[in-house]
Amino acid sequence: METTTRRTFLRNVGLFAASALVIEGLHRPVLADKPVNFSGWVFKPDTVRDYVGFYNQKFGGQVKYEAIPWAQYHPTMETRAFAGEIVDVMYCNHNNRERWYENGLIRPLDDLPGVDELRKKMSPANLDSLKSKDGSKLLGLPYFTSLFILMYNEPMLQQAGIKAPARSWDELVEHCVKLRRDKVSDTPFLPNWNNSPSGTMPQFMTDCFSEGAQVFDAKNQLIVDQEPGAARAMERWQKVYKADLVNPEVLTKTSSTDTHRLMWTGRYAYHTNHSYYLKTIAGEPENSKLAPKKAKMTMYPGTGHTYMWTDSYVVNARTKVLDDAWKFARFLGGNLNGDWYVQRQWCLISGLDNPYPEMYEHPQIIQSYDRWIDLKLLRLQYEKGRAIAAYKEPWYGEYDTKAVPIVHDMIRGNLSVPAGLKELVKLQRSLV
């Protein structure tokens, strides 16, 4: 008898959704007075409420917004779906998008009006990342795209007589050892080792890429146990942790947002995290001691390659207000207002990048970014961004979550690197 797992009940939800759609029809008339339920994970919810209010006022919408903590967001959405609740428009991170589609929670967008125009506006890599595993369906519109960057505390390096940021991992470790020895910083290195899907595992992939290592093969099978670069990355993590160069608190953080707030204190020399977090670190003096522009980015060490992804807005397959839900989704992830309203707001307010290149030609955007980052350097780092296809596998979200304790055991030295990498491979194989 099959054990009831999240994968099982999502599949059952999908079967129910499919039958419901056949009965009701996807394009039946929609009552204009029905509300659109919209949920997202917590990231600047006041900003979201502002543009939801703008949409409701300008377009006569009745969007109801709910923010859910990041760490619980995707399981909460799945549990609600299993209980029969319909959230019409949702955030969905790239790790869960394919699984939600294959299990019938979300619908493809290809048959909806205006979608072809949006396809043409997106950069090819981001468009491909938003498609289904077989490339035939567009599963979401972009919320944002991002990648990992290396940030540094310029005043701290200057205080220690370090004239330029590290260009290699060996140099970064040398700097951190010197900073600790000279009592400039107790824990100079702040890696993003939080235990959410946005933390430890994408950080591990980034550092593997920077070492020239492949993480998955062409068939999306994990191969870190066969890659010397993956072992080098993990051995370095063990080394900096054992040398007390890293605040162990990072292992207990539940989000990348919580991790980057540590950098606000100015007590760390180097920080690896999502690119948009430099906005609050270097651009918001009300929050950060490193603003304005005391924290800067430099090209990632090694090969310079880092992990890049595209998170999205998706439409529930069971929505009973498809026309209104799609209209709102186009406002969020497209250009319904004619001026890229939401995309532009995220760029200006939070430094969230998007896959519409024309946005970066706008003088207002250029002027805004110039207050907290070298935009040309950021765009150069994006040229080094690497996406993977493995996240489109239905097992990926589960792997991403269950792999974190194994990696944390390696970091703490409770598990050897060769044994830990083999454990990761064993885990991935067990989920296929």
pLDDT tens-digit map of 71-100: 899 999 999 999 999 999 999 999 889 989
Paired with 151 in beta bridges are 271, 297
What secondary structure letter does DSSP report for 221? Answer: -
- CA distance linking residue 412 with residue 407, whole number of Å: 9
Q: How far apart are CA 342 and CA 55, in angstroms?
A: 10
Q: Look at the chain and report how many structural domains it folds into.
A: 2
Same domain, 223 and 80: no
Q: What pLDDT shows up at residue 26?
A: 44
The pLDDT, as a whole number, for residue 27 is 43
Is residue 127 located within the same domain as residue 205? Answer: no
The alpha carbons of the chain give a radius of gyration, in whole angstroms, of 22
In a domain, 427, yes or no: yes
Residue ending a domain, among 350, 375, 400, is 375
**Rounded distance between C-alpha atoms, residue 339 and residue 320, angstroms:** 29
- Residues 287, 234 share a domain: yes
Residue at a domain's end among 328, 356, 375? 375
Q: Are 397 and 309 contacting, i.e. CB atoms less than 8 angstroms apart?
A: no
Range of the domain at 151: 146-308+386-431
In a domain, 83, yes or no: yes
Residues 90 and 197 in one domain: no
Is residue 239 domain-shared with residue 358, that is, in the same domain?
Answer: no
Residue 18, domain member (yes or no): no
212 with 92, same domain? no
Residues 164 and 85 in one domain: no
The token duo for 228 is: 């010397």
Quick one: pLDDT at residue 33?
Answer: 64
Domain of residue 177, CATH code = 3.40.190.10
Looking at residue 159, its pLDDT comes to 97
Q: Which of 237, 233, 230 is nearest to 214 (CA)?
A: 230
CA–CA separation, 227 and 192 (whole Å): 22
Same domain for 401 and 272, yes or no, is: yes
Q: Which residues of the chain have pLDDT under 70?
A: 1-33
CB atoms within 10 A of CB 364: 11
In a domain, 265, yes or no: yes
Tokens of 4: 């009831």
C-alpha–C-alpha distance, residues 226 and 215, integer Å: 9
pLDDT digits (tens, 9 = 90+) for 329-349: 999 999 999 889 999 999 998
Bridge partners, 386 (sequence order): 307
Number of Cβ atoms within 10 Å of the Cβ of 323:
18
191 and 252: one domain? yes
Position 28 scores a pLDDT of: 42
